Amino acid sequence: MNLSKGLTHIQGQVSPKSITDECGGEKCRVYRTGLPRKRIVINVEKEFDSRGDSSKRCDRMLFYGNAGKKVFITVPIELKSGKANESEVREKLENSLKFASTLAPDRKAIGKTEFVPVLIHGRGINWTNPRCKQLIVNFQGKPVKALIGRCGRKNNLANLLSEAGYL
């Protein structure tokens, strides 16, 4: 797996103004501690604006590689400092997953790519079905479970990714 090649591929497809090092924003603190040093973070809102795309999208997108598992990881991140609306978050993550799949490096060049949608919220989620408290998004015709964390919790993103086996 050539991680540098994958990250260079991603970087070459987006506006340099969209690249950031911050995974948080929108009044929602996300810690970078514990994340791989070799990574790219895109401010998705800036990228969509630069492309003239007004569709709903997540706030950030993180790309990195897990050399041990020979996997390239793509993480669309939706940030909500307050209470998140499940259906709105689902739509944003689904649109962002579609966008991420257009950026992902060729499987022959980099190996397998895993897509891991993430919601980081501040004050809970307004669930469509309160009995089913899982955020499931559709991607490439399959249901994908989104990881859910809280704003401001120490190592929030790294802990989520690690517990799910992506770090």
- pLDDT for 23-64, tens place per residue? 877 788 898 889 999 999 999 999 999 998 888 999 999 999
Reported as a pLDDT band with limits 50, 70 and 90, residue 19 is: very high
**pLDDT at position 72:** 87
Contact 135, 125 (CB under 8 A): yes
The pLDDT score that the predictor gives to residue 109 is: 63
The residues with which 20 forms a beta bridge, in sequence order, are 41
List phi, psi (to 5°) of 94: -65, -45
| 3 state SS of 109 | helix
Rounded to an integer, the average pLDDT of 79-93 is: 89
Q: Give the residue extent of every domain in the chain.
A: 3-163
Indicate the pLDDT class of residue 104, thresholds 50, 70 and 90. Answer: confident
User: Model's pTM, two decimal places?
Assistant: 0.90
Q: Which of 110, 84, 87 is nearest to 10 (CA)?
A: 110
To the nearest 10 degrees (0 to 180), the angle between helices 3-13 and 86-103 is 110
Half-sphere exposure of 36 (CA within 13 A, CB side): 22
Residue 67 pLDDT class (50, 70, 90 cuts): confident
Higher pLDDT, 104 or 157: 157
Q: Is the pLDDT of residue 148 over 60?
A: yes
- DSSP result, 38-105: SEEEEEHHHHHHHHT--S---SEEEEEEETTTTEEEEEEEEEESSPEEHHHHHHHHHHHHHHHHHHSP
| Cα radius of gyration (the chain) | 15
Mean pLDDT of the chain: 87
Sequence-distant (6+) residues with CB within 8 A of 125 are 83, 84, 85, 86, 89, 119, 133, 135, 148
Tokens of 139: 């991607």
